[in-house]
Amino acid sequence: MRKLNLKPLAEQVLVITGGSSGIGAATGRAAARAGARVVLAGRDAAELDKVAESIRTEGGQVTTVTMDVGIEEDHHRLLQAALEAYGSVDTWVNNAGVSIFGPLQSVPIEDQRKLFETDYWGVVYGSLTAVPYLRERGGALINVGSEVSDRAIPMQGAYSAAKHAVKGFTDALRMELMHENLPVSVTLIKPGSIDTDYTRRARNYMDVEPVLPPPIYSPEAVAQAILYAAHKPQRDLYVGSAAKIMASLGHRAPGLMDALGGWLTRHQRSNVPASEGGDGLYEPGVRTATPSPSKVRRHSYYTEVNTRGKGMFWLGTGAVLLVGTALARRRH
């Protein structure tokens, strides 16, 4: 394989889709603080400008591109804008996404198709735009999946299906690039529940406002994982121990995970009646009635350990203990 040398963050140019809020905005800010030059992309020009201004206020370098990841041509325009602004691209992060809450039988097919345009095809378009450029000079392609890339959950069936598809695409692309001996690192990031506008931007077919099941982590925890993969080649990274445990149980105890479907359903339902406000499925928008989480973990110790080079022993030990505890409780 041609030698893969990822640059230090301070020498990189990063392209980040979904950059107007949440994980994308947090990643852009953290990258700029590390000295990287950042290109933020998203549909909402006003929100992108706010994030960019906050970066510039701290002395960072950033440019913005208003685009829709569900439109293939917009990705080519994004790459061209990055090259015009900074002359190169070192890391491309496909982060944009949207969800739908509600039983699959209640979600119109056209809405499910639209979700796939953003969550799956947005990743495909971005990857197939970035790779022809990166293959000539090397770099990192980072796709943001989810804990539901490994294990589907009820009430977000279409989102789970799209993130499963993202995992399949990312794994296949990685193998193909390895076979070609190309110096491109391909990483899948799999966050658990994250404190962003995710629920407020999701389309909702429940009778109450949606919430995310605990534990809930800050978007900065995901940014830490993304930026680690930008300069240290990784196959995949979970954000939050709960995400890793959920995936492990899904593989090793699928029946137990099926039995947890009721708990997962209940913990995605708030006690706030569903609002009539807009959402971000087709156009930028949020609902105002969705409650914020009462407790957010600012850091994921699991992620911190795994991004400091000594995670597997402690991670394996912790996972075994936690899975054993869960199975023991099930027996009783």
In the predicted model, residues of the chain with pLDDT beneath 50 are: 1, 311-313, 316-317, 320-321, 324, 327-328, 330-332
Q: What's the pLDDT score for residue 44?
A: 97
User: How does pLDDT run across 182-191, given as a tens digit for each residue?
Assistant: 999 999 999 9
Catalytic residue IDs? 159
For residues 127 and 177, is the Cβ–Cβ distance under 8 A? no
Neighbours of 105 (CB within 10 A): 7
User: How does pLDDT run across 77-99, given as a tens digit for each residue?
Assistant: 999 999 999 999 999 999 999 99
Q: What's the pLDDT score for residue 172?
A: 98
Whether the full predicted model's pTM is greater than 0.85, yes or no, is yes
How wide is the angle at C-alpha 76 spanned by C-alphas 54 and 94, nearest 5°? 55
Q: What's the pLDDT score for residue 204?
A: 97
The token pair at 156 is 């977000």
Question: In 39-194, which residue ranges form alpha helices assigned H by DSSP?
Answer: 45-57, 72-86, 109-119, 121-137, 157-179
Q: What's the pLDDT score for residue 293?
A: 84
The token pair at 315 is 């991670």
Helix axes 109-119, 157-179, angle to 10 degrees: 30
Q: What's the pLDDT score for residue 256?
A: 93
User: How does pLDDT run across 108-149, given as a tens digit for each residue?
Assistant: 999 999 999 999 999 999 999 999 999 999 999 999 999 999
